[in-house]
Amino acid sequence: MGKAIVFTSGKGGTGKTTAVAAIASCLAAIGHSALCIDCDLGLGNLDLSLGIEGAAATNFGDVLSGRIPLADAVYPHPRIPNLSYLAAPVSVTAEEIALPAMKQLVEEAKTRYEFVLLDSAAGIGSAFRLAKGLADMAVIVTTWDASALRDGQRAAAMLFEEELGEIRLLLNRIRPRLLRDSVITVDDLVDAVGAQLLGVVPEDAAVPASVREELALALYGSTGASRAFLRIAKRLAGEHIPLGKV
């Protein structure tokens, strides 16, 4: 049985979707089967970060309605073996999604894939509540921006209230030089959100460049961010990888 992980953030602009695509790509690259499910209803852009813009002809709404079985609805990545993608429907709201049916979909996905990564909508609205009810683990993605940290703290509080088994923190788009010159430390950022640290990813110009060139970050090259995401993927896969520095 696989593991379902929801990636969330208290606000937009933290790089959550990029993180989902990069970590899933890295999990696949080290031999683990991974399925990315875009749960950002109506606004999903996970396909852009995966380098497969507009490629999927079906979405999880087709599975929930019974029109298409899950095995036929997923889109295998054309360049990354072991990686598949399931798009979000564009014309429904989170309130219209039946949570029991969505749970059944995720449970079936866990029988087919080692990792099921759910890219939730930013914020703590109804789409966030939909996604968090499906996962075995939550990863809160935040930057060191004060508003992002505060919203990440709120997301963590809601997740802890739900008694979700594992809640982790991913610090994204961190600028090592500014961090070294600041009185704020990584430990301070972790304490601000209140969740165990999963990894730290540096600011990297290769991330937006890979999206512009329609390439998954894992295919773009060995950069600071891609190496950091690989370390995170290995931790999720159970390897003991020291957190180290940014």
What is the pLDDT confidence band of residue 246, given thresholds at 50, 70 and 90? low
Look over the chain and give the mean of its residue pLDDT values, rounded to a whole number. 87
Length of the chain: 246
**More confident position, 216 or 75:** 75
Return the pLDDT at 81: 96
User: What DSSP character marks residue 199?
Assistant: E
Cα→Cα distances 39→126, 141, 180, 184, 185, Å = 11, 15, 36, 33, 32
Q: CA gyration radius for the chain?
A: 17
Give the pLDDT confidence score for residue 215 in this predicted structure.
87
Q: What is the pLDDT at residue 130?
A: 65
Q: Give pLDDT, residue 35.
A: 98
Q: Is the pLDDT of residue 125 over 90?
A: no
What does pTM read for this prediction?
0.92
Q: Report the pLDDT value the prediction gives residue 25, as an integer from 0 to 100.
A: 95
Question: What is the domain partition of the chain in residue ranges?
Answer: 3-236
Average pLDDT over residues 163-183: 77
Mean pLDDT for the stretch of residues 94-108: 89
Please name the residues in contact with 181: beta carbons below 8 A apart, sequence gap of 6 or more. Answer: none
Note the pLDDT tens digit of each residue in 71-90.
999 999 999 999 999 999 88
- CB-CB contact of 165 with 6 (8 Å): no
Q: What is the CATH number of domain 3-236?
A: 3.40.50.300
- Distances, alpha carbon 15 to alpha carbons 112, 167, 230, in Å: 27, 18, 16
The pLDDT of residue 127 is above 60? no
